[in-house]
Chain A
Amino acid sequence: MSAISPRTTSLYPRHVAAGAKLGDFAGWQMPLDYGSPRGEHLAVRGSVGLFDVSHMGQIEVAGREARSLLAWALTNDVAAIGPGQGQYTLMLTDEGGVIDDLIVYALLDRYLLVVNAANRDVCWARICEGAEGRDVEVAERSDEIAMLALQGPDWAKALEPLAGSPAPLGLEYFEITEDMIAQVPALVARTGYTGEPGVEIMCPWELAPRIWDALMRGSTSVTPAGLVARDTLRTEMGYPLYGNELGRDRGPIAAGLKWACDAAGLAFAGAESVRRDLEHPPSERLVAFAFDEPGIPRPGQSVLVSDVLAGTVTSGTLSPSLECGIGMAYVRSDLAMPDTAIVVDVRGRLRRGHIARRPLVARSPRTD
Chain B
Amino acid sequence: MADEHYPEDLRYHREHDWVRVDGDEAVFGITWFAQDALGEVVFYEPPAVGATLAADATYGELESVKAVSDIYAPADGEVVSVNEDVVAAPELVNTDPYGAGWLVRVRLTNPARLDALMDQAAYVAYLAGLGEA
Contacts and interface: CB of A to CB of B under 8 A. Distances in A.
Given A21-B39, A35-B1, A36-B40, A318 B68 contact: no
A317 interface: yes
A38 B40 contact: yes
Contacts of B64: 37
Nearest to B43: A296
B130 to A, nearest CB: 17
Contact of A228 (B1, B45, B66): B66
B42 A38 contact: yes
A33 B66 CA distance: 11
A298 interface: yes
Nearest to B61: A347
Interface in A282-324: 294-296, 298, 317-318, 320
23 contacts: A21-B39, A32-B66, A33-B39, A33-B40, A35-B1, A37-B39, A37-B40, A37-B64, A37-B66, A38-B40, A228-B65, A231-B65, A295-B43, A295-B45, A296-B42, A298-B68, A317-B65, A317-B66, A318-B43, A318-B63, A318-B65, A347-B68, A349-B45
B3 to A, nearest CB: 13
A318 B63 CA distance: 9
A232 B65 contact: yes
Nearest to B87: A294
Interface of B: 1, 39-40, 42-43, 45, 61, 63-66, 68
Interface of A: 21, 32-33, 35-38, 228, 231-232, 294-296, 298, 317-318, 320, 347, 349
Contacts of B1: 35
Name the 4 nearest CB pairs between A and B, nearest first: A318-B42, A37-B65, A296-B63, A36-B40
Contacts of B63: 296, 318
A292 to B, nearest CB: 15
Majority-rule SS of B interface residues: strand
A45 to B, nearest CB: 15
Contacts of A294: 43
A277 to B, nearest CB: 32
A298 B65 CA distance: 10
Contacts of B65: 37-38, 228, 231-232, 317-318, 320
Nearest to A33: B39
Contacts of A296: 42-43, 63, 68
Contacts of A21: 39
A217 to B, nearest CB: 25
Nearest to B37: A21
A33 B63 CA distance: 15
Nearest to B66: A228
Contacts of B42: 38, 296, 318
Nearest to A298: B68
Given A35-B40, A37-B64, A296-B68, 14 more contacts: A21-B39, A32-B39, A33-B40, A36-B40, A37-B66, A38-B40, A38-B42, A228-B65, A228-B66, A317-B66, A318-B43, A318-B63, A347-B68, A349-B45
A317 B63 CA distance: 10
A24 to B, nearest CB: 13
B42 to A, nearest CB: 5
Contacts of A232: 65
Contacts of B45: 295, 349
A294 B63 CA distance: 12
Nearest to A35: B1
* Max chain A Cβ within 10 angstroms of own Cβ: one of B45, B64, B65, B66: B65
Contacts of B61: 347
A197 B68 CA distance: 32
A36 B64 CA distance: 10
A294 B68 CA distance: 14
